[in-house]
Structure 1
Amino acid sequence: MNVYDAVLCDFDGVIRHYDAAGLVELERSYGIAEGTTVKVALAPGLLTPVTQGQITVEQWRDSIVEGLARLLGSPERAAALGDAFARARAQLDEEVLGLLRRAQERVPVVLVTNATFQLEDDLRALGLARFFDEVVNSARVGAVKPERRIYEIAAERAGADAVRCLFVDDREENVEAARALGMTGVLYREAADLREALAPLLEGDRGAVLP
């Protein structure tokens, strides 16, 4: 019998990572603190509406530029930063994907992410459209992590009780919310965290043993 009946996994910060070097370079040239653009973009007041499906990605990006313009006093620089943010290149962690593929041979793997209506297009572009057994996108279901409902939806779609789910996320508040429902929560920092968490599930899998 498997130690888990499902693996629920976050996307950005675990599977997908952005290269913000160009954005950081532009921020430096403008004399503002590194990470300012991301801080504005991910502020709850701007991020929550788009991840709840209340506004479009385009409207979200416009709100980022408006927020930066108020901060910098320069619409032109704000627009340039907003464009650099939108164009940041994404990379997939192949080691994480490999671990999830092996887990998927034993239990369902469900993507659980605070995302926009663009997520499905992103998954297709990245070659992941058919990778996950289910995708729980906050913009589609109208609930965001760490709200209880999104975890319940994920467990339901996996066909598993919450107490039999492994949940992986790079944000502590999201992990704590999963644990409150009885899930096994793993705060992700590097691939080794996922390897360790999946080891009981992959016991007997030759690939699970580190050299």
Structure 2
Amino acid sequence: MTTTPAHHGDRPFDAVLCDLDGVIRRYDTSRVTELERAAGLPEGSTAAHAFALGGDLPPLLGEIGRERWADAIARDLSARVPPARARALGAAFAGAASWIDECVVDQLRRVRASLPVVIVTDAAPWPHDDLAALGLTDLADHVVSGSRVGVAKPDPAIYGIAAARAGVSPDRCLFVDDVRENVEAAVALGMTGVHYREPADLRRALAALTPPRPEPGR
């Protein structure tokens, strides 16, 4: 789904702001979901605790390793489930297998030849290290991490920071995220929003950068 405000000029946006996890990097969270169901927790509960700002969880506020992150998730969840289940959930979430969507990477590399690309993430505070390990340091001009700026999506502040890093006003940004609430917040600021589900969603949005060729004889 793409939501586009009225823009003027030859193209509808001058920068692309893109989420990391759920768009560029995908995770196999099937084991986490299985454990949540067994523990009587709503699906997504572990992620909500893992990426919470404030409270007892430090990953979005300070540098920690993945083992300490798993321990912190378990500590936070232990108020809702028995300690053993909390530890299993923390370990499964922090250690979930991931892969890079090469279709998305290819599209972003192509667009970066003409427009700035900014990664906007609420993931744990090592996105630069992750991108380096994955050979993706050339994928974006900037990375805006909630752990570094102290605000997370859908807080309007993080969108403003990302637009400023791109060097354009918010209404000249395309924002791509797999969480509808985050996209709606971006659209409320005047951005073009894409609720990402599959690479074709991004492809359709970026197609707007290439105006259709005139028909012969016109």
Comparing 190-199 with 120-129, greater Cα deviation is found at 120-129
Does the CA-based 8 Å contact 1:52-1:143 persist in structure 2? no
Return the offset for 1:129: 2.1
5+ residue gaps, structure 1, are 206-211
Query: Is 2:19 the partner of 1:10?
Result: yes
Distance 2:30 2:151 in 1: 32
Comparing 146-155 with 62-71, greater Cα deviation is found at 62-71
Aligned to 1:175: 183
Return the offset for 1:51: 6.0
Q: How large is the Cα RMSD of the aligned pairs?
A: 2.6
Against the structure 1 CA distance between its residues 106 and 178, is the aligned structure 2 distance closer, same or farther, given a 3 Å change threshold?
Answer: same
Question: What letter matches 2:131 in structure 1?
Answer: L
Return the offset for 1:98: 1.0
Aligned to 1:48: 53
Against the structure 1 CA distance between its residues 170 and 152, is the aligned structure 2 distance closer, same or farther, given a 3 Å change threshold?
Answer: same
Among residues 148, 151, 167, which one is paired with 1:140 in the alignment? 148
Return the offset for 1:95: 0.6
Distance 2:69 2:40 in 1: 22
Among residues 197, 200, 203, which one is paired with 1:189 in the alignment? 197
Among residues 123, 127, 130, which one is paired with 1:115 in the alignment? 123
Aligned to 1:208: none
Question: What letter matches 1:107 in structure 2?
Answer: L
Percent of residue pairs bearing the same amino acid type: 48
Give the structure with the higher percent helix: 1
Aligned to 2:216: none
Distance 2:41 2:27 in 1: 15
Aligned to 2:174: 166
Return the offset for 1:69: 3.5
Query: Is 2:28 the partner of 1:19?
Result: yes
Against the structure 1 CA distance between its residues 18 and 34, is the aligned structure 2 distance closer, same or farther, given a 3 Å change threshold?
Answer: farther
What is the TM-score when the length of structure 2 is the normalising length? 0.79
Against the structure 1 CA distance between its residues 149 and 5, is the aligned structure 2 distance closer, same or farther, given a 3 Å change threshold?
Answer: same
Does the CA-based 8 Å contact 1:7-1:166 persist in structure 2? yes
Does the CA-based 8 Å contact 1:102-1:202 persist in structure 2? no
Distance 1:52 1:70 in 2: 20
Deviations 1:4-31 (A, max 9, x none): 2101111111111111244456x28x94
Among residues 124, 127, 132, which one is paired with 1:124 in the alignment? 132
Return the offset for 1:56: 3.9
Number of residue pairs matched?
200
Against the structure 1 CA distance between its residues 77 and 195, is the aligned structure 2 distance closer, same or farther, given a 3 Å change threshold?
Answer: same
Query: Is 2:112 the partner of 1:104?
Result: yes
